[in-house]
Chains A and B, each alone.
Chain A
């Protein structure tokens, strides 16, 4: 499947889910500081990766987009709630080429909007019983419960590392954090939920864990690399923002392990400062070091290994399914990651 076809399918599922989100927003006051803001982040045009994976997996397993819609809506509401709260926790400036919600509004309102989105994500899960019956709905509810638990645990791990200025991390620490913080909710559970719905609960969801994990890790590392090297208007966030925020990316972990003691001390001192005191000049110097020590190349390679392993898992799980546009779509998402040039 050509990249543009894959991207247009992703956009189609994303817009289908966005319409679904609008249905679940109460049409009442307070609008200005709550309900109108709920559609702000989803309307900014994210990739729609999670609903795309959920709907396409459901269809590949014989279900319909409509059957997966409420679950996709719930996933997307939760994702955007996480983004609003993450932006506050990370003190981020921009999101999808616009100021973050807490910057153009205020922190209190942004936290409350995030809370509301978390709460609104429950009703589509409850309404699943109308489309899917009580047994499947219960299964999906537990999937989401696990997904959210893992995500907040992963976020806590990383926030803790930053607070304590932990600088002696290894690849395995990163892999664990990223599994918990990103992979369960970006790939593993959207795929599991889609497969449960499409197969009417007949499939064993655990068989998708490795596939989703490898895919999610490849996706996250690529996203982190893009944060350092992309053009800001294409990426939609401040370039190098992750260095300023002290995010424990694979590149930073690699650099901390390979730089000399003088450089290590300077980086540690930089990371020990409050975010607002960290200067762009030192951040640019750290980025330069990442290039010098090939931390970016190292991370790109790992991302490719992960995408390759995801492709292998894909073939072993999905080869028994009949050929379909959605099956090809999932395959091309991985191939896109393998070939992505950035």
Chain B
């Protein structure tokens, strides 16, 4: 097959009086109009294609899933119900987590206003000082292995000593999976902090060998002060 030789310059050739440098020919108004026209055209195309894709996928789904057929097979029906129930439970858990986070934000705001906050977390992922802090293991952990999270607690008071006694809940995962609280080791679980002192708690989570992969969360809180608390997360693979 034949090929064409490049002009080698890599630029628009000067022909019919056109300037080589296209920058010098720019008309800002015309350029803005052109840019707007082409970008809005592109956005329309994208939206149309996405809509067409959704419609096609729905049609395909209707063709592939035969409702009458599913109804006539009791085992398939039960299997679908089980599957859908799991999905519903997952959705419920997601909603619960969202509500917990929201409550955390609200209670955090209240704590801030009353000036009793004395708790900070290392590796908190919320980024907002009002949100319920979430600390997670650095990497996913395999079943049978131990995940470690470090937590820093600071006494914000400049005059009073304080004691923190940490309580823990079971880890909850999707589809009612659990890692029992006895698998969580807190070192130390009780600590006394002098004014303005900061101490670290090492949280070790021994993931049972039978644990199923997924994301698990537990709550850690001070026995005396419910405002001092954090969510601990672990990804089991």
Contact A309 B2 (CB under 8 A): no
Contacting residues of chain B (5-30) with chain A, CB-CB under 8 angstroms:
5-13, 15-16, 18, 22
Contacts A217-B42, A244-B4, A305-B34; A131 near B237 (Cβ below 8 A): yes
Complex contacts, A243 vs chain B, CB 8 Å: 4
Contact A91 B1 (CB under 8 A): yes
Q: Does B106 contact A (CB under 8 A)?
A: no
Closest to A305 in B: B35
Chain A 129-141, CB-CB to B under 8 Å as 1, else 0, gives 0111111000000
Separation in Å of the A305 CB from the closest CB of chain B? 4
Contact B3 A244 (CB under 8 A): yes
Q: Does B103 contact A (CB under 8 A)?
A: no
CA distance A287 to B12 in the complex (A): 11
Contact B6 A175 (CB under 8 A): no
Q: Does A86 contact B (CB under 8 A)?
A: no
Q: Does B176 contact A (CB under 8 A)?
A: no
Chain A 206-237, CB-CB to B under 8 Å as 1, else 0, gives 10011001100100000000001111100000
Complex contacts, B10 vs chain A, CB 8 Å: 229-231, 341-342
Complex contacts, A301 vs chain B, CB 8 Å: 22, 31, 34
Contact A230 B6 (CB under 8 A): yes
Contact A232 B6 (CB under 8 A): yes
The 6 closest A-B pairs by CB, nearest first: A240-B4, A280-B2, A305-B35, A238-B3, A133-B213, A239-B6
Closest to B139 in A: A64
Chain B 222-237, CB-CB to A under 8 Å as 1, else 0, gives 0000000000000101
CA distance A146 to B5 in the complex (A): 39
Contacts A200-B215, A210-B46, A229-B10; A239 near B41 (Cβ below 8 A): no
CA distance A213 to B43 in the complex (A): 9
Contact A300 B6 (CB under 8 A): no
Complex contacts, A279 vs chain B, CB 8 Å: 2
Closest to A239 in B: B6
Separation in Å of the B149 CB from the closest CB of chain A? 16
Closest to A213 in B: B46
Complex contacts, A47 vs chain B, CB 8 Å: none
Contacts A291-B15, A296-B12, A341-B10; A309 near B39 (Cβ below 8 A): yes
Contact B42 A306 (CB under 8 A): yes
Complex contacts, A179 vs chain B, CB 8 Å: 42, 45-46, 49
Contact A239 B38 (CB under 8 A): no
Q: Does A283 contact B (CB under 8 A)?
A: yes
Among B43, B49, B213, which residue has the most Cβ atoms of chain A within 10 A?
B49
Contacts A200-B215, A213-B42; A93 near B12 (Cβ below 8 A): no
Closest to B16 in A: A292
CA distance A248 to B126 in the complex (A): 49
Contact B215 A244 (CB under 8 A): no
Contact B5 A172 (CB under 8 A): no
Contact partner, A180, options B6, B12, B49, B214, Cβ 8 Å: B49
Q: A228-B6, A276-B1 are in contact. List 11 more A-B contacts (CB 8 A).
A: A64-B139, A150-B49, A176-B48, A209-B46, A238-B3, A244-B3, A280-B4, A283-B4, A300-B12, A306-B42, A342-B10
Contact A292 B15 (CB under 8 A): yes
Complex contacts, B6 vs chain A, CB 8 Å: 228-232, 239-240
CA distance A239 to B235 in the complex (A): 51
B interface residues (Cβ-Cβ under 8 A, vs A): 1-13, 15-16, 18, 22, 31, 34-35, 38-39, 41-46, 48-50, 53, 139, 213-215, 235, 237
CA distance A180 to B139 in the complex (A): 36
Contact A284 B5 (CB under 8 A): yes
Contact B4 A239 (CB under 8 A): yes
Q: Does A302 contact B (CB under 8 A)?
A: yes
Contact B49 A172 (CB under 8 A): no
Q: Does A171 contact B (CB under 8 A)?
A: yes
Complex contacts, B7 vs chain A, CB 8 Å: 229
Contact B12 A291 (CB under 8 A): yes
Contact A294 B18 (CB under 8 A): yes
Complex contacts, B46 vs chain A, CB 8 Å: 179, 209-210, 213
Q: Does A52 contact B (CB under 8 A)?
A: no
Among A131, A133, A200, which residue has the most Cβ atoms of chain B within 10 A?
A133
CA distance A240 to B11 in the complex (A): 14
Contact partner, A300, options B16, B22, B42, B44, Cβ 8 Å: B22
Separation in Å of the A170 CB from the closest CB of chain B? 9
CA distance A131 to B237 in the complex (A): 7
CA distance A231 to B6 in the complex (A): 6
CA distance A232 to B8 in the complex (A): 9
Contacting residues of chain A (31-50) with chain B, CB-CB under 8 angstroms:
none
Complex contacts, A171 vs chain B, CB 8 Å: 38, 41
Separation in Å of the B201 CB from the closest CB of chain A? 23
Complex contacts, B39 vs chain A, CB 8 Å: 214, 305-306, 309
CA distance A306 to B36 in the complex (A): 10
Contacting residues of chain A (239-280) with chain B, CB-CB under 8 angstroms:
239-241, 243-244, 275-276, 278-280
Q: Does A20 contact B (CB under 8 A)?
A: no
CA distance A80 to B5 in the complex (A): 27
CA distance A130 to B2 in the complex (A): 50
CA distance A132 to B38 in the complex (A): 39
Complex contacts, B45 vs chain A, CB 8 Å: 172, 175-176, 179
Contact B235 A200 (CB under 8 A): yes
Complex contacts, A291 vs chain B, CB 8 Å: 12-13, 15
